[in-house]
Chains A and B, each alone.
Chain A
Amino acid sequence: MKKTSPIALLGVLAMALTMTACGGDGDGTSTSGASSTEATTEAPPTDTATAEETSDVPEETEPAEEPIVLSMSGWSLETTPEFQVLADAFHAANPNVTVELREYDPNDYETLMLADMSSGSATDIITIKQAKFTTQWAEGGQLMDISDIVSGLPANVSGAGSYTVSGVNYGVPYRQDSWVLFYNKDLFDQAGVATPDGTWTWDKYAEVAKELASKLDGVKGTYEHSWQSTLQGFAQAQTPGADLAGGQDYSYLKPYYERVLDLQDSGAQETYANITTNSLTYQANFGKQSAAMMAMGSWYVATLISQQASGDADTFNWGIAPVPQYDESTTGTDKVPVTFGDPTGLAINANIDPAKLDAAKAFLQFAASEEAGVALAGIGILSSVASDAVTEAYFAQSGIPTDDLSKFAIGTHETKPENPQSPYIAAIQSALGEAHTAIMSESSSIDDAIAMATETIQAELG
């Protein structure tokens, strides 16, 4: 034993080395707590008829231009047809340019992209799945300054500000979801409660949720998913003076938490503990009529339509209303309700072949055009372009509620970014995410949790 122990020591040392190195990269990619932004960009399976139709458009006979192939990153191409729709529509208008898609795993998209970027093999067009990564990529010299394109975008394109880092624009939004209130008309009728009319504040919403829960047997008044954005996103967007990136004061979260804890304790909504430990999904809760209301991103419209068609969700009448507001200054259909959401956008690789640059810029401009917006609306994706033609195409989907309030909720709102650009935004969001789990599980008081998050954020900001 004595003789071999130095060798054994070395061996164990080597083993310790190996293991420490592996510590960070375990198989943790399959996280249980999905972030809301992940879901934002997870397009529901819809039929790709539009995509096929557009690709069948006969190519114009203009052989003068050289063929150009642009590569573009995407994820889950099978269930996320939006990339192909954009690529096909652009090719139809510009027959010499073909956009080829490269597929990435949606759960690890940013990590995989980072690996491709650092090895110099990233695509020509880089899709920005989560706006908060713009700063990291831009500061790493991977994204091209496209301020010229962005400043030329029409006024009805929203969300470009999410890709602005120190005054420079790096991305063009092609898709913009925002949060709305889904409600089950049948359950409201059954309880004899008046459906939302666009005038609700959060207090009114809480009151109705309790009323519904008391009148409906075995059904919760509302469902609030476990993500931090289901609460913090609204508090951040709607409270006057709320400054997420400032790092000074997060007390604006408190009234929102008090309201939700009260709903949770009174049984009007499912508890956070049950949602996380039983891996409940928001699709099943609203789709199977376990709750009469739910605030969710507009991407759920297409999911619900397809799940009702496939039988994964019950068949019932539903509607879309604007999300409840902070106070009455923004309620009513004659005002503009405030909500939040991050866009999905496209950027150009800073190291793109100069010969392809013009085509790439043209593609980005196209992605934020009304034409692209109409094509996307056909597959249930809300474009960043707000226009009557886009809204009309969106409400032409079969199975979508077509009442005036639903159209108002989808068409009229001020959408504030969930993640304003700041080099510290990821750190700030994870500290506030910790506060969210502590408060919602009721293992910490609201004040203590907010104080802990503030301390962490200030240490990060230095």
Chain B
Amino acid sequence: MINLRDKGAELWEGANRLQRTAFALVAIFAALCLPYAGNFSLTNFLNTPISSYEAVLVYPVGMYILMALGLNIVVGKSGLLDLGYVAFFAIGAYTAAILGTHTHLNTWEILPMGMGFAMLAGVLLGLPTLRLRGDYLAIVTLGFGEIVRILAINTPSIGGPNGIAGVPQPPTVLGQAFDITHPDHFFWLVVIMILAVIWMVRRLSIRRPGRAWEAIRQDEDVALLMGVPILRYKIWSFSIGAAVGGAAGVIFASEQMFVAPQSFNYNVSVLILSCVVFGGMGNIWGVVLGASILSYLPERIRFISNAREFVFGLALVVMMNIRPEGLLPRKKREHLSDEERAALKATRAALTASKKASKKASEKASEKASEKAEKEASK
């Protein structure tokens, strides 16, 4: 089987800056055009029967990609198994619903607040639990996810099991209205958020936090022995992931105009985790691809009704057998990226320079010594 990731990486690294920019722009443009693909005979195979294709692109597809990217920071980058990720999505959604119906804040103002609350929840949950490892962390986060949902069901002031209706939609931006007749605008919004998250994750990955996460994922004890404050970086990973989930929640609430506890079931956490594992843990493009397929497929095959879940499960099992590391697995460290190559070059240059300097110094010293010896001999 051809190695898609390596082929892609090869093409990307072989390209110059102009080609890369052009490719990125074309890819973004194609993504933005996706909502209209259902109208053309060439691309209308994408159309989802029964459910509205444009709406499907926003939820679940866009939302799942966004959440999978957020969870990927936690699971893929730092190796922390979080089975209650849906809690942060719920916190974002309820923030939007409560503030949207009780105050005059609009969605854009609520968005950072929803992210903030999700982050805060991430820190509060992380402080005691991130000292735990592997399985224990998974159980505690699983419990947290359920607690948030059950708390929502049992709190009448936020609608209890009925949820909150009438969540306001985002105000118009640049003449583009966000309402039920414009799912394409919501999709554009989600695409922009996805791009922002991808940009952030790529930045973080090549900098100190990325190094720390990588070390923690590979060997926690050794990371500690190297002086990496692992608890601090785990909490960062957890809360950045939470913020992305919270952002997805805010947009979800204002797009659906309604939130209810049953949208935040345990299955959502598992599905998001499946997206990450299915696509390729730790690889952004793998995660995007995995989330796209796993969120879109069940809608596309909705016409087979009862067999739908079965086909979906079967596809998962078969795929994980063929590609256990995911569709586009994490890059193996056989060749270096451009940044790494540049860093390596600089290091090598510095090394040879310092060596030359010491060589010169020693040559000078030996010259002086021989001069001295000659002088003494002539005396």
**Do A and B originate from a single complex?**
no
Interface residues of A (CB under 8 A from B): none
Chain B residues near A (Cβ < 8 Å): none
